[in-house]
Amino acid sequence: MIETKVFKISGMHCTSCAMNIDGELEDTERIMEANTNYARQETQVKFDPEKISQDAITGIIAKVGYTVRGEKAI
């Protein structure tokens, strides 16, 4: 079953930051879609939790230099 979660992110300074996060997440084949909003400081991720964990997603975001402050289901 596909899930969509919103991850609150800190450390973004511009729209390029949002594009970096989207690019890294969408390059992960187990993630279907990522939509990061710089103004809201959050990213919405559609993924299969049987194939990738939330911890792995937050690890990908951390790898590109940002911090996840929390998440919520949609």
Q: How many angstroms separate the CA atoms of 35 and 18, rounded?
A: 8
Show the domain range for 17: 3-73
Identify the pLDDT of residue 74. Answer: 74
The one-digit pLDDT tens for each residue of the chain (74 residues) are 899 999 999 999 999 999 999 999 999 989 999 999 999 999 999 999 999 999 999 999 999 999 999 987 77
Residue 24, domain CATH? 3.30.70.100
Q: How many domains does the chain have?
A: 1
Angle at 40 between CA 23 and CA 36, to 5 degrees: 15
| pTM above threshold 0.85 | yes
Residue 42 Cα distances to 1, 31, 50, 51, 69, angstroms: 23, 16, 23, 22, 9
Q: How many angstroms separate the CA atoms of 5 and 60, rounded?
A: 15
